[in-house]
Amino acid sequence: MSGRQISRHSKTGFTLIELLVVIAIVATLVALLLPAVQRARESARRTQCKSNLKQIGLALQNYHDTHNIFPPALINSGDYANTNFYSFSLNHTGWTMLLPHLDQAPLYGQFDFDIASGPSQRAAAPPVIGAPPQVPTSTILNMLLCPSDESPRLYTSNGKASEYRVTNAAPSNYVFAGGRNGEDAQIYSVYANLKVVLPNGLSVRYLSAFGNNGAARMVDLTDGASNTILVGESVKTHSYTNDWTPIWGQGKHAGIYGRVVAEPVGSVNYFNNQRYRINEPYGSTGAVTNPANAQLPYAWVFSSKHTGGAHFVKGDGSVVFLSQNIDWIIFNYLNYIADNQVVGEF
């Protein structure tokens, strides 16, 4: 009788311990790789944001080539106390004027500049353009949005004061350099030749490139185009409560300007008043305030969702990332077009 050989088939697989080890290894790899992926994504977003500002810088240069002047940040704004503007408060913005140079000529063609783009604070404005959702000021413009900011894309708010009210307003993450906060002081012709006293005792002009119903020419940038900021980033999270936000089409000064200091309080030496620094949120007390330790209303602060600072486009069209730790006096010099001060490294 021939012997038969019996084969044995053993079952193979993971033990519980082996499975747990594999899961732990995978989790560790994910934990190691995820920050790198997030950094890569943020790097791509920063690159796109920088590209947006380069496009804006080119649009500003093209506008200037056409008109021999930059566009006003605000046009006939009803936010301001000067009674000369009461009867024709239209609340248009410099962004509207730039639309043809941002490949948005059809959108520009939808504007009737005899009709207000938004509600006014101190005037009975003409009928507002369009019906809710208001066209064209409700149009989302990707070139005016930083991809790192994922805030809601349309705003309607009564604001903390009537000058901040907006209705179905499309946002912008970029604001014009306005220098200082204040009402009539932002009317360009009013404060074009005013001066302030620096901590070193020097008296300098604090004129920025943009204002209400006026703006600078390239020839006015006597500090040098490469030493002058035109536009910078601003995000909603750094505003005074959630009622204020940067917008592009409705002329609210809290949503159009970026500023570095508040208006003087009883003195032209405004460096003794509220100082606005990059990325500081509302509720900060700042290095110097008047009154002391006052909370700073950062509706108009330059800010971003990027770590450590924000992007700015300069008068020569180049884009720079400025640290939020930049010396505040240097930051002022960069915001002013004719202070005749040496900027140095920044």
Which residues share a beta bridge with 331? none
In terms of DSSP bridges, do strands 174-180 and 257-261 run parallel, antiparallel, or are they unpaired? parallel
Q: What are φ and ψ of residue 206, in 5° steps?
A: -110, 35
Q: Which two tokens stand for residue 178?
A: 């306005």
Q: What is the pLDDT along the chain (346 residues), one digit of tens a residue?
A: 455 555 555 556 667 777 788 888 888 887 777 776 666 677 888 999 999 999 999 999 999 999 999 998 888 765 554 455 445 566 788 999 999 999 999 999 988 887 777 665 554 455 566 655 467 888 999 999 999 987 767 776 655 555 556 677 888 999 999 866 444 445 666 666 667 666 667 776 778 898 888 889 999 999 999 999 999 998 876 454 555 678 888 776 667 777 776 655 444 444 555 667 888 766 555 544 444 545 555 556 788 999 999 999 999 999 999 999 998 888 888 988 888 888 877 7
Domain chopping of the chain, boundaries: 39-335
Distant-in-sequence, close-in-space partners of 119: CB < 8 Å, separation ≥ 6: 78, 91, 125, 128, 165, 166, 167
Query: Where do the DSSP E strands lie in the chain?
Result: 74-75, 92-93, 155-157, 166-169, 174-180, 195-197, 203-205, 210-211, 214-215, 229-233, 257-261, 309-314, 319-323
Are 299 and 181 a contacting pair, CB within 8 Å?
Answer: no
| Pairwise CA distance, residues 82 & 76, whole Å | 10
What DSSP character marks residue 197?
Answer: E
Q: Find the distance separating the first CA and the last CA of the chain, reported in whole Å.
A: 98
Count of Cβ atoms closer than 10 Å to residue 175 Cβ: 27
Task: Count the Cβ atoms, other than its own, within 10 Å of residue 77.
Answer: 30
Please give the Cα distance from 294 to 226 (Å, whole number). 34
In the prediction, which pLDDT does 170 show? 87
